[in-house]
Structure 1
Amino acid sequence: MELPATSPSTYRNRPALSRRNPRPSDLLLRGGVGLGCVSNHVRARVPTSEERDRRVSVSVSVRCTDREAVDLCHRKEKDWLHFVGVGGCGLSALAMLALKQGYEVSGSDIGWSSFMDGLQEAGARLYVGHSVTNMQKHNGLILPKAIVVSSAIPQDNVEILYANSVELPIYKRDYWLAKLTEHYNLIAVSGTHGKSTTASMLAYVLQAMGDDVTAVVGAHVPQFDGGNIISGSSQNFVLEADEYDGCFLGLLPYITVVTNVELEHVDIFEDEAAVIAIFRRFLKQIRAGGHLILCGDSVGARSLLGHRKQVNGSDYYNPAKSSLEPCSDSYRVTTYGISSSNEWHASSLRSNLQGGTDYKLCHRGCPVADISLQIPGVHNVLNSLAVIATVSALFGDHRHIHESVDLVRLHLNSFKGISRRFEMIGSVRGCHIFDDYAHHPTEVRAVIQAARHIFRQKDLLVVFQPHTYSRLAALKNKFATALSDADLVVVTEIYGSRETNLWNISGWHLATSITGPPSEYIPSLEDVVDKLALYICKDPDRETLILTLGAGDITFVGRKLLHELQQILPKANS
């Protein structure tokens, strides 16, 4: 294969928690916190627990008097929040939830993103570019009650500097999440990969089972009315918990899910040992009497159990500890995976007619049920096992295992997945175009394997856009190995995101490292679309699967290519 030349995306008993859902205004009574944002030019270090405690204690200033707090609780007009970096998957979800909770919301980012579309439709005022005027109404006479800031925003951002100058409360995303969730039964879904799909699948299943759950995930979910959030009234809160910049360390989960652990976010973590260390700190945040759901197939995740004594049965709870405080040892542990050594495991995996995967669900070695998923891949089997184990932890002890599974399995089959996870863009003649968010070697390998499993007789053409210079510099050889399973590979220029190219690396270095399939470096996405269109038009009925991969603007390539082929091919037939 060669590209032609061309010119220039009924619950179990839980620890006693506050039964009051937090009011939106509660979050504004604490004052602002120091940002500790990540510099674009210096490797950021995750703060120690002592440093985090000191940072909060020093930076939480009394920005609101008691009288102002009372006024805030009883104001009739909406309170105004401004989100800096609102185009990202994490902060856009919090902005949408704030809209659902009754806030007036505005936000800014350096460029427009697909997440901002839904926010604008829901009533948010959004701005491209950062400016003091984004935070002012009536010539500066009215300002937001507070601003919430993405972890990726530097401290010298003009909106942050202005907020400091007028003493507006400033909340980094991690602190906002901690205060937002502290009175809920928090189910925190963490891990290097699979967080978004697992959290979405879990929230979807719980809602379908009748729980009016609240959920915040870092991806668009077509089956969520709120896009990437669900705003509910029950005590359960499903959250995609991100390790980036230690964001999850302020959470106090009742249930923590760990899907896997390996080296990622190399701009933050020096090596895999640093990643494991921060996950160990996170597990110490689990509330007394809580539960850890962990993928036993992941070497990194399994290593988290090496420094604690596993507690089983009814002895897991330590009554001397407040349930609102973290307790590092008094929680249950449940493992899941493909291996039969796990408490929950899958066997007899096979493709189904829906394009997904069927498997036999087993508990402690005994078959329990047949599970059928619409979404493909072994990684999604693992995600579904995490959901089953979590629902079982919520819905009762082992005497009700079969009842819990029966409630879950029908809804698992109805889950259609999330945007940019092996998402079908469209087909023209023999060409089928899919898009996926994969931007780590493990994710790239998983989605290529899933594609191979479903489309066994089609040529597989992968277009990969590396995401961040630091990630490609650290993982280039692993990317080359993962991409070698394709039939043809196109590598574009790197999507730098928040980084500058301190490594003097480009997509060319990856393209020339790939052994096996032909590979080509095409920096410009426009040129990629043009060359792919010419390639497909040479033999439009040849069965070809085009898979665009990456976390940047590569997501637009598939749609542009589809549109161009739809315009060209009818003319070719006339």
Structure 2
Amino acid sequence: MTSLQHITHVYFIGIGGIGMSALARYLHEQGKVVAGYDRVTTALTQQLEDEGIHIHYDDNFSAIPAAFKNVSTAQVIYTPAVPATMDELVRFRESGVSTIKRAQLLGQISQTMTCLAVAGTHGKTTTSAILAHLLYKSDVKVTAFCGGILEEFKTNYLCSGTDVMVVEADEFDRSFMQLSPDIAGITAIDADHLDIYGDVETFEQTFHDFAGLLDYKKLLVNEQVSIDGIVVGVQNGYYKAVEVTVVNGSYHFDLQIGESIYKGFVLQLPGKHNLSNALLALAMAMEYGVEVEKLRLALGSFQGVERRFTYRVNTVDRVLIDDYAHHPTEISAVHQAVREMYPDEEVLVIFQPHLFSRTKDFMEEFAFSLGQFDKLALLDIYPARELPIEGITSQALCSKIKELDKKPAVITVLDKEDLEEFIVEMNTRLVVMIGAGDIGIEIQKLTNKFLKHER
């Protein structure tokens, strides 16, 4: 990479983040000495340490080795989630060491390979993961920075060469405007991050700006997206699925491209939203030039992305599904998937709202999407980077859901320590736990207990 040729040491502030850790792995593989800071130890930070990347967990500038403070040969990467007042970041800036955002580094890397970028309010992690899998299994020399852990490879970074780069194009903080995409896909432009953008119009305009980065290159858009491009969809599009059936929890379909039909595609993921994601990934791979037959074989072996309709427990007595959904549209997509897979079963949902601002901006939409389930429990709002907003609580959301004409039979707000007792008391076989905060920790605890009980 031209801009980092003289750099020998790279320090990541927030190295345990899903996007940051993939970049850390990439630079480590490129021969750079990589280290970083994060607030807490996680399975992901442990993996990075096992791979030879040093991480510490105290905001302590003096504990960082001198080589990472060398103005000539060191580089600092940070994420927008890190507060500007964080001591390590402040001290690095004062020291004169170059500090850049994660998005800027991705932008630099995107100039060195053919860049396939997946944007969208939701679906981009699964779509980019499917795309990375398709290219990897089709023997394309690909470097993929995924926003989730691929189930088959147990990593968010996949590399078989450097001809092609697959990357999530993140709309948060307008990060995707740093990229140089050659082929791009847009999954959805439902409003989000209004704390950053202010209003829906500004948010949507940013996606039009992103589309403008492609000049005369190739842009593919989901059938629901109102931006000019090659349309891809389950119902409509130049690329579309036809003869769709569900067999043993998998989608079987034929792929229509213009007037041509290619038979025998299989997708193991549930939910129409995932079928749309797979179609967009197939279309992007086709536009890059991969043969249809290779793609058909590759798609059938895709095992999914961690925390995207992931089965944590799947026994006769208990089904526990884990999903990252944190936007009303995503919750409705989970609802569609679970109803399609289990049409005759009662569904208990545990939801942890993510961000006070998102809960405030979409209170009505959250109420509707959550109100579709049979039983519901809310955890307190996960604040992430935010301070509380007066009147915006899980209790307020709970009250809004209770106002619906059609609503769950049980609606309550729970403390985390009461989760297990509540689930047992509900006596519902099918439990879906969703959210983007720290609910994953609770899911792991419950998984361990339920599986131990099964034994």
TM-score, structure 1 normalization: 0.75
User: Do the aligned partners of residues 278 and 134 (structure 1) sit closer, same or farther apart at CA in structure 2, a change above 3 Å counting?
Assistant: farther
What CA distance in whole angstroms lies between the structure 1 residues aligned with 2:56 and 2:73?
15
What CA distance in whole angstroms lies between the structure 2 residues aligned with 1:89 and 1:531?
31
What CA distance in whole angstroms lies between the structure 2 residues aligned with 1:162 and 1:219?
31
What is the aligned counterpart of 1:337 among 215, 221, 233? Answer: 233
What CA distance in whole angstroms lies between the structure 2 residues aligned with 1:408 and 1:187?
16
1:507 aligns with 2:394: yes
Q: Secondary structure of 2:149's partner?
A: coil
Structure 2 counterparts to residues 214-253 of structure 1, below 5 A: 214-224=143-153, 227-253=155-181
Assess if the C-alpha contact under 8 Å between 1:529 and 1:560 holds in 2: no
User: Do the aligned partners of residues 139 and 367 (structure 1) sit closer, same or farther apart at CA in structure 2, a change above 3 Å counting?
Assistant: closer
Q: Secondary structure of 2:140's partner?
A: coil
Assess if the C-alpha contact under 8 Å between 2:241 and 2:253 holds in 1: yes
1:128 aligns with 2:57: yes
User: Do the aligned partners of residues 248 and 134 (structure 1) sit closer, same or farther apart at CA in structure 2, a change above 3 Å counting?
Assistant: farther
**Higher strand proportion:** 2
- Aligned AA for 1:454? M
Partner of 1:292: 219
What is the aligned counterpart of 1:360 among 254, 270, 274? Answer: 254
1:526 aligns with 2:422: no
Q: What CA deviation, in whole Å up to 9, does each residue of 1:365-393 have, x standing for no partner?
A: 55332321111111111111112211221
**Greater RCO between the two (CA within 8 Å, min separation 6)?**
1
Assess if the C-alpha contact under 8 Å between 1:469 and 1:503 holds in 2: no
What CA distance in whole angstroms lies between the structure 2 residues aligned with 1:525 and 1:211?
45
Assess if the C-alpha contact under 8 Å between 1:533 and 1:561 holds in 2: no
1:550 aligns with 2:435: yes
Q: What CA deviation, in whole Å up to 9, does each residue of 1:523-557 have, x standing for no partner?
A: 42121123213444xxxxx6x21000000111222
User: Do the aligned partners of residues 336 and 140 (structure 1) sit closer, same or farther apart at CA in structure 2, a change above 3 Å counting?
Assistant: closer
- Aligned AA for 1:409? R
Q: What CA deviation, in whole Å up to 9, does each residue of 1:386-422 have, x standing for no partner?
A: 12211221117xxxxxxx3222111101001100000
Shift of 1:137: 4.5
What CA distance in whole angstroms lies between the structure 1 residues aligned with 2:164 and 2:313?
37
What is the aligned counterpart of 2:448 among 563, 567, 570? Answer: 563
What CA distance in whole angstroms lies between the structure 2 residues aligned with 1:390 and 1:554?
33
1:87 aligns with 2:63: no
1:186 aligns with 2:115: yes
Q: Structure 1 stretches of 5 or more lacking a match? A: 1-21, 30-68, 73-78, 306-332, 397-403, 537-541
What CA distance in whole angstroms lies between the structure 2 residues aligned with 1:100 and 1:143?
21
1:106 aligns with 2:35: yes
Assess if the C-alpha contact under 8 Å between 1:349 and 1:357 holds in 2: yes
Percent identity between the aligned chains? 28
What is the aligned counterpart of 1:407 among 294, 302, 310? Answer: 294
Assess if the C-alpha contact under 8 Å between 2:134 and 2:295 holds in 1: yes
What CA distance in whole angstroms lies between the structure 2 residues aligned with 1:510 and 1:131?
39
Q: What CA deviation, in whole Å up to 9, does each residue of 1:182-212 have, x standing for no partner?
A: 1211011111111111111111111111112
What CA distance in whole angstroms lies between the structure 2 residues aligned with 1:488 and 1:475?
21
What CA distance in whole angstroms lies between the structure 1 residues aligned with 2:432 and 2:331?
10
Partner of 2:324: 437
TM-score, structure 2 normalization: 0.93
Assess if the C-alpha contact under 8 Å between 2:353 and 2:382 holds in 1: yes
User: Do the aligned partners of residues 143 and 509 (structure 1) sit closer, same or farther apart at CA in structure 2, a change above 3 Å counting?
Assistant: farther
What CA distance in whole angstroms lies between the structure 2 residues aligned with 1:535 and 1:455?
18
Shift of 1:451: 0.8
- Aligned AA for 1:394? Y
1:453 aligns with 2:340: yes
Partner of 1:152: 81
User: Do the aligned partners of residues 569 and 207 (structure 1) sit closer, same or farther apart at CA in structure 2, a change above 3 Å counting?
Assistant: closer
User: Do the aligned partners of residues 391 and 501 (structure 1) sit closer, same or farther apart at CA in structure 2, a change above 3 Å counting?
Assistant: same
User: Do the aligned partners of residues 476 and 164 (structure 1) sit closer, same or farther apart at CA in structure 2, a change above 3 Å counting?
Assistant: same
What is the aligned counterpart of 1:481 among 368, 374, 378? Answer: 368
Partner of 2:245: 350
Partner of 2:183: 255
Assess if the C-alpha contact under 8 Å between 1:428 and 1:565 holds in 2: no
Shift of 1:90: 1.4
- After superposition, the CA RMSD in angstroms is 2.2
- Aligned AA for 1:385? L
Task: Judge which range, 551-560 or 515-524, deviates more.
Answer: 515-524
What CA distance in whole angstroms lies between the structure 2 residues aligned with 1:148 and 1:228?
18
What is the aligned counterpart of 1:267 among 182, 195, 211? Answer: 195
Q: Structure 2 stretches of 5 or more lacking a match? A: none
- Aligned AA for 1:561? L
Assess if the C-alpha contact under 8 Å between 1:507 and 1:521 holds in 2: no
Partner of 2:47: 118
What CA distance in whole angstroms lies between the structure 2 residues aligned with 1:269 and 1:365?
41
What CA distance in whole angstroms lies between the structure 2 residues aligned with 1:428 and 1:560?
17
